[in-house]
Amino acid sequence: MRANLSDRLLQHYVDKCRALPWRSPPGSPPPDSYRVWLSEVMLQQTTVAAVTPRFERFLARWPTVEALAAALDEDVLAEWAGLGYYARARNLIACAREVAARGGFPTTEAGLRALPGIGDYTAAAIAAIAFGAHAVVIDANVERVTCRLFALAAPTRGDLRAAVASITPAERAGDFAQAMMDLGATICRPRAPLCDSCPLRDDCRAFASGNPERFPAPKAKAAKPVRHGVAQWIERDGAIWLVRRPTKGLLGGMAALPGPVWTAERQANAPELARVRHVFTHFALELAVVAAADPVGEGWWQPFDTLADAGLPTLYRRAVDAVLTERGRIAA
């Protein structure tokens, strides 16, 4: 059954694979390891639709890992702005420099895991896709497909890995991993899976149960705590004062509106120009934007007409847009 299942899935991948800029066509020589690594880092907790244009912009600007390694930190962070999870960008820079110093990417999972920002999944994906290694690759899509195939409601990591390993073929592990990812993204969806179009339907225990959406069981979500922050709006001659956040910590090294450290209590005493709410991984932030007179410390004046070039992360871009929108309403 295992060989038959993997053969059918690989044939489905040949017939129906998604054309993505970081992939090679199924059965062809593997893509460059730099492209695989860059795409896998970008795709962590970010959609293919959001990543695709940004990936192409990155490649156009830094076509090799050596070019990325030589880039200025602030340029890379600015290019990353809007993708979120900014620790990935800092790890991207550190990893590129280590790889360039080594003369290339390691070809084994163990060697890849030793690089900054590369965990078990990313190491397995790069090893399988770029280097043809027989690696067990498990992302969210692969997990869902596997849970349904084996009717696993709440598997342990060991159970899940054993299940994926049992169906991963000795050859073409990279194509198989991408085939599983595509199946989860396009057919074996979280809601309303397209079981009639699935090449693995006859092997799927969840489908046989009559209710495939029961697998895997939903995970309980804890309520996020709320923090509060203040962003200072300092404007002069058609420009706004921006600063760079501390290197370490959330949004480290990114461009930002100045302001104090975020706290558990509301901070703003001055009249608010605008307020935005932004949800991070572990908490939600209520950010009040208030007017201030003069800049303090290091920073720069960013003209409003070049604000798109500042590399503001989503939080601060939304804060700026909120003020400008509110100003437009008042003027009207």
Q: Are 213 and 193 in contact (CB under 8 A)?
A: yes
40 classed as catalytic: yes
**What 3-state class would DSSP assign to 4?**
helix
Burial of 85: CB neighbours in 10 Å, binned 0-12, 13-18, 19+: middle
Name the residue with tokens 């890992």.
Answer: 65
C-alpha–C-alpha distance, residues 183 and 6, integer Å: 12
**Residue 300: enclosing H or E segment and its boundaries?**
strand 300-303
Q: Out of 40, 66, 109, 235, which one is annotated catalytic? A: 40
The pair of three-digit structure tokens given for residue 115, joined into one six-digit string = 């690089």
C-alpha–C-alpha distance, residues 198 and 182, integer Å: 11
Task: State how far the alpha carbon of 240 is from the alpha carbons of 174, 232, 274, 284, 305, in Å.
Answer: 48, 10, 15, 26, 10
C-alpha–C-alpha distance, residues 244 and 241, integer Å: 11
C-alpha–C-alpha distance, residues 57 and 118, integer Å: 22
Active site residues: 40
